[in-house]
C-alpha cells in the first residue's frame, strides 16, 4: 500500500481545480498566439519571451491534469503524486515569467490593443488562482511541496 490513497472523491476536487486552471491557460494561449497573426501586434515586444515560458507552463498543467486523472481513477503510486506536485511547482515557476512577459506586452501595446492584453492577464490570473487552490487542496490532504 502506498502512503497516499485517496481514491475517487479525495482527488476529484484537485482534478477539477487543475482542469479549471488548464481551461484558463487555454485562453491565455489562444489570445496571445492570435497576436502573432495580427499585423499591428505580430512583433509585440514581450510576446515571444512570454511564450517561451507559457509553453512549459502549459505542459506542466497538462501533465498535472493527467496525473490527477490517474489518481481519481484509482492508481495509487507515490510517483504519480510526486509528478503532480512537481508539475504544480514547475507551472508556478513558469507563471512568474509569463506574468513578466505580459507586463512587457502591456507596456508596449498600442492603445487599441491594451484591453486585449489586459484580458490575457485576467485569464492568466485565473489560471494561477486555480493552480494555487489545487496546491492548497493537496496540502490539506497532507501532501507536502518541496521548493
CATH code, domain carrying 23: 1.20.120
Domain tally for the chain?
Answer: 1
Q: Is residue 3 part of a domain?
A: no
Kindly state whether residue 144 falls inside one of the protein's structural domains.
no
Residue 102 lies in a domain: yes
> Would you give per-residue pLDDT tens digits along the chain (147 residues)?
334 444 445 899 999 999 999 999 999 999 999 999 999 999 999 999 999 999 999 999 999 999 999 999 999 899 999 999 999 999 999 999 999 999 999 999 999 999 999 999 999 999 999 999 999 999 999 998 876
Is residue 145, in this structure, part of any structural domain at all? no
- The CA distance from 124 to 119, in Å, is 9
Determine the pLDDT at residue 9: 53
Is 17 among the domain residues?
yes
Q: What is the pLDDT of residue 147?
A: 63
Residue 67 counted as domain residue: yes
- Kindly give, in sequence order, each residue whose CB lies less than 8 Å from that of residue 100, ignoring residues fewer than 6 positions away: 50
The answer to whether position 2 is within a domain reads: no
Taking only Cα atoms into account, the Rg of the chain, rounded to an integer number of angstroms, comes to 17
Domain assignment present for residue 142? The answer is no
The answer to whether 84 and 68 have CB atoms below 8 angstroms apart is yes
pTM for the structure as a whole:
0.92
Residue 146: per-residue pLDDT: 74
- What residue numbers bound the domain in which 27 lies? 8-137
Amino acid at each position: 500500500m502506498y502512503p497516499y490513497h485517496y481514491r475517487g472523491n479525495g482527488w476529484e476536487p484537485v482534478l477539477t481545480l487543475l482542469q479549471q486552471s488548464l481551461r484558463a491557460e487555454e485562453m491565455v494561449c489562444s489570445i496571445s498566439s492570435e497576436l502573432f497573426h495580427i499585423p499591428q501586434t505580430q512583433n509585440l515586444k514581450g510576446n515571444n519571451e512570454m511564450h517561451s515560458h507559457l509553453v512549459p507552463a502549459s505542459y506542466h498543467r497538462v501533465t498535472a491534469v493527467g496525473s490527477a486523472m490517474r489518481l481519481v481513477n484509482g492508481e495509487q503510486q507515490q510517483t504519480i503524486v510526486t509528478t503532480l506536485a512537481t508539475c504544480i511547482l514547475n507551472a508556478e515557476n513558469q507563471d512568474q515569467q509569463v506574468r513578466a512577459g505580459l507586463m512587457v506586452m502591456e507596456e508596449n501595446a498600442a492603445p487599441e490593443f491594451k484591453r486585449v492584453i489586459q484580458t490575457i492577464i485576467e485569464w492568466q490570473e485565473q489560471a494561477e488562482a486555480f493552480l494555487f487552490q489545487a496546491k492548497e487542496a493537496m496540502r490539506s490532504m497532507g501532501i507536502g511541496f518541496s521548493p
